[in-house]
């Protein structure tokens, strides 16, 4: 079996010939100390931390960085000039302050992300492939654009479909463009496959959303091949971990990111145990973060991958604060092959569902589920070609009772999934 592409990427970036745990640990410690030194010199956000650590084990003695820190003091975390900033991503967050996170990237940060995408996509996309990119496009250096750039560098052809096409438009793309690979969010992919069929799509990389087991199995059954999961977040440069041909977890970009898993008390857990993912982004030029609590729940898979790589691997990832009821709804509803997509909103404490089906008897199919979960079936109907997926993002809207039944477009969506790209 071929070793993960991430090994070759790290060797090329770090100008080394082979990767061992000792090599990775040295790269991480050297880069971490370089970040700490820059913080002291520039009087950055982390200026009060030690200028140097003697070992990676000392990292656990440093304080955590939180989402609140990033939202309120993200500007102070910059270690580059304003002129070096290539990309800024702003995200409005919930909470009493109303502050939104702002994450900054240099041209070098974006280039590293493209190289990671090339490593991940290169596991299953080949020169000449035609790849649907069903991700958001937001101008130069946006997520969709970086993915498309990586596909072009591989020698393949990206079909930039975005994530707001009607089912009719998607069917036309499948029939006329005949893509053989797909990059996008899992629920949106399943929605398209059930409504339009798979066409010539053979393989798919899923990202941007935690994938419920029911959804993953349904997609793999339709495609007849395993999915290629990818993990990333804005804070780590949009790309963080990729799947190799062993399909035994996702290899981290360890030359750019140190990973820890902690319990609820903040204690570092050994490999194999589940907890919250904490990242130290030693490879980020614009805004390196030290011990940032991601709010993502996962584990580091112990041992060496069967592909031969010693680069550490993440297991399945989901949001710690992800609604348990929403996860249950995904598992319950997507077991019905007739379901195309759905969303749920809460009105005065009671949940209402909007669902699209490929059959006329959708409400009859999910009536028992709705009764069990105290859900009022609001709008269950057969999907039409003019419809768009109710996802992305999977919505669970909290609507004050006094507002009654507002249209979904009038409400702010609350995302419930992992910090994937």
Of 214-218, 303-307, 405-409, least confident by mean pLDDT is: 405-409
| Judgement on whether residues 299 and 342 belong to the same structural domain of the protein | no
Residue 115 falls within a domain, yes or no?
Answer: no
Region 250-274 average pLDDT: 96
Both structure tokens of 127: 């020169």
- Return all residues near 21 (Cβ < 8 A) that are at least 6 apart: 310
Position with higher pLDDT, 281 vs 417: 281
pLDDT tier at 353 (50, 70, 90 boundaries)? confident
Q: Give the CATH number, domain containing residue 273.
A: 3.40.50.12780
Report whether 78 contacts 287 (CB < 8 A).
Answer: yes
Residue-level pLDDT at 201: 96
Q: List the one residue out of 262, 401, 417 whose CA is nearest residue 345.
A: 401
pLDDT for 325 equals 57
Distance, C-alpha 107 to centroid of its chain: 21
> Residue 360's pLDDT is what?
85
Percent of the chain with pLDDT over 70: 84
Q: Which two tokens stand for residue 159?
A: 């079909």
Is residue 283 domain-shared with residue 270, that is, in the same domain? yes
What residues pair up with 342 in beta bridges, in sequence order?
A: 355
Categorize the per-residue pLDDT at 247 as very low, low, confident or very high, splitting at 50, 70 and 90: very high
CA distance 228 to 184: 11
| 129: its two tokens | 């492939």
The H-or-E segment that residue 68 falls in is helix 67-73
The pLDDT assigned to 402 comes to 37
- 198 vs 239: which has the higher pLDDT: 198
Residue whose pair of structure tokens reads 């010539």 in the numeric block? 200
Q: Which domain holds residue 352?
A: 324-410
Give residue 138's pLDDT: 57
Q: Is pLDDT at 286 greater than 60 in this prediction?
A: yes
Tell me the average pLDDT across 187-203.
Answer: 93
Q: pLDDT at residue 97 above 90?
A: no
Q: At residue 60, does pLDDT exceed 90?
A: yes
Q: How confident is the model at residue 398 (pLDDT cuts 50, 70, 90)?
A: very low
Which residues in 72-184 belong to E strands, given as ranges?
85-92, 100-106, 130-134, 157-160, 181-184
In a domain, 284, yes or no: yes
For the record, the structure tokens of 40 come out as: 């002291």
Instruction: Report how far residue 170's alpha carbon sits from residue 172's, in angstroms, rounded to the nearest whole number.
Output: 5
Q: Does residue 201 lie within any of the structural domains?
A: no
Domain boundary among 285, 319, 353: 319
pLDDT at 24 over 90: yes
Cα separation, 69 vs 305, in Å, equals 35
| DSSP string of 10-71, one letter each residue | HHHHHT-S---HHHHHHHHHHHHHHHHHHHHHHT-TTTTS-S--SSGGGGGGSPPB-HHHHH
Which of 319, 344, 368 represents a domain boundary (last residue)? 319
- Residue 246, classified by CB atoms within 10 Å of its CB into exposed (0-12), middle (13-18) or buried (19+), is middle
pLDDT classification of 238: cutoffs 50, 70, 90: confident
pTM equals 0.86
Residue 367 lies in a domain: yes
C-alpha span between 30 and 254 (Å, rounded): 13
Alpha-carbon torsion angle 290, 294, 300, 305, nearest 10: -90
Question: Does pLDDT of 114 surpass 90?
Answer: yes
Higher pLDDT, 259 or 330: 259
Q: What is the mean pLDDT of residues 269-292?
A: 95
DSSP 166: B
Mean per-residue pLDDT over the chain, rounded: 84
Is there a domain that residue 403 lies in? yes
Q: Domain boundary residue among 270, 289, 319?
A: 319
β-bridge pairing 292-298 and 275-280: antiparallel
User: 382 and 339, same structural domain?
Assistant: yes
Q: Pick the residue with more confidence: 101 or 327?
A: 101
Token output for 378: 């609001």
* pLDDT, average across residues 322-333: 69
Q: Which residues make Cβ contacts (< 8 Å) with residue 154, sequence separation at least 6?
A: 118, 121, 122, 125, 126, 127, 129
β-pairing verdict for 203-206 and 228-231 = parallel
User: Both 254 and 309 in a single domain?
Assistant: yes
What are the pLDDT digits (tens) for 140-172?
667 888 899 999 999 999 999 888 899 999 999
Lowest-pLDDT range of 85-89, 313-317, 393-397: 393-397
What is the phi-psi region of residue 237: left when phi exceeds 0, alpha when psi lies from -120 to 50, beta otherwise? left
CB burial of 396-408 (b: ≥16 within 10 Å; e: otherwise) equals bbebeeeeeeeee
* Residue 47 or residue 389, greater confidence: 47
Strands ordered across the beta sheet of 339-347: 375-382, 350-357, 339-347, 396-399
Listed range (70-79, 294-303, 335-344, 411-420) with the worst mean pLDDT = 411-420
Task: Mention every residue, 6+ apart, whose C-beta is less than 8 A from residue 102.
Answer: 70, 71, 74, 75, 88, 89, 90, 91
Query: CA geometry: angle at 235 spanning 231 and 240, to 5°?
Result: 25
CA–CA distance, 233 with 252 (Å, rounded to integer): 12
- For residues 347-359, average pLDDT: 81
The first and second tokens of residue 296, run together, are 């993502």
Name residues whose C-beta falls within 8 Å of residue 16's C-beta, 6 or more positions apart in sequence: 10, 23
If you average pLDDT over residues 299-321, what whole number do you get?
90
Residues 252, 397 within the same domain: no
pLDDT band at residue 2, thresholds of 50, 70 and 90? confident
Task: Give the N- to C-terminal CA distance of the chain in Å, as an integer.
Answer: 28
Asked if the structure places residue 262 within a domain, the reply is: yes
Which token pair is 277?
């993912």
Q: Please state, as a whole number, how many other Cβ atoms lie within 10 Å of the Cβ of residue 206.
A: 25
Shared domain check, 332 and 304: no
Task: Identify the pLDDT of residue 393.
Answer: 47
Residue for token digits 């584990």?
A: 299
Number of domains in the chain: 2
For the ranges 124-128, 194-198, 207-211, 217-221, which has the lowest average pLDDT?
A: 207-211
Domain with 342 in it: what CATH number? Answer: 3.30.300
pLDDT value at residue 181: 96
The pLDDT, as a whole number, for residue 158 is 95
How far apart CA 311 and CA 28 sit, in angstroms, is: 12
Check whether 419 has a pLDDT greater than 60: no
For position 317, what pLDDT does the model report? 86
């Amino acid at each position: 079996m071929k070793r993960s592409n991430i090994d070759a990427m790290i060797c090329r970036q770090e100008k080394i010939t082979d990767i061992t745990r000792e090599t990775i640990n040295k790269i991480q410690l050297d880069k971490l100390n370089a970040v700490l030194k820059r913080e002291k010199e520039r009087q950055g956000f982390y200026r009060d931390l030690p200028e140097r650590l003697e070992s990676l084990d000392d990292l656990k003695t440093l304080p955590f960085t939180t989402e609140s820190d990033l939202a309120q003091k993200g500007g102070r975390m910059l270690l580059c000039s304003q002129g070096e900033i290539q990309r800024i991503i702003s995200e409005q967050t919930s909470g009493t302050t109303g502050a939104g996170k702002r994450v900054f990237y240099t041209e070098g940060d974006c280039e590293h992300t493209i190289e990671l995408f090339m490593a991940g996509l290169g596991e299953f996309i080949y020169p000449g492939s035609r790849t649907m990119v069903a991700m958001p496009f937001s101008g130069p250096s946006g997520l969709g654009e970086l993915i498309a750039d990586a596909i072009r560098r591989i020698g393949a052809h990206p079909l930039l479909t975005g994530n707001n096409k009607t089912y009719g438009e998607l069917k036309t793309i499948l029939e006329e463009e005949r893509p053989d690979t797909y990059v996008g969010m899992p629920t949106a992919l399943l929605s398209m496959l059930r409504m339009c069929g798979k066409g010539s799509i053979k393989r798919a990389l899923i990202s941007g959303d935690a994938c419920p087991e029911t959804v993953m199995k349904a997609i793999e059954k339709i495609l007849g091949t395993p999915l290629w999961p990818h993990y990333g977040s804005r804070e780590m440069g949009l790309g963080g971990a990729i799947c190799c041909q062993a399909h035994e977890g996702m290899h981290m970009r360890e030359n750019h990111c140190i990973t820890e898993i902690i319990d609820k008390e903040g204690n570092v857990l050994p490999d194999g145990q589940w907890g919250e993912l904490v990242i130290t982004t030693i490879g980020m030029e614009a805004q390196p973060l030290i011990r940032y609590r991601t709010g993502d729940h996962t584990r580091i898979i112990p041992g060496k991958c069967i592909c031969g790589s010693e680069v550490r691997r993440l297991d399945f990832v989901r949001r710690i604060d992800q609604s348990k009821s929403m996860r249950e709804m995904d598992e319950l509803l997507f077991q019905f092959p007739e379901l195309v997509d759905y969303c749920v909103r809460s009105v005065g404490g009671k949940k209402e569902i909007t669902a699209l089906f490929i059959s006329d008897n959708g409400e009859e199919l999910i009536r028992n589920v709705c009764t069990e979960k105290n859900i009022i079936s609001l709008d269950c109907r057969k999907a039409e070609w003019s419809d768009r997926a109710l996802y992305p993002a999977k919505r669970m809207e909290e609507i004050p009772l006094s507002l009654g039944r507002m249209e979904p477009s009038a409400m702010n969506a609350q995302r419930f999934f992992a910090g994937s790209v």
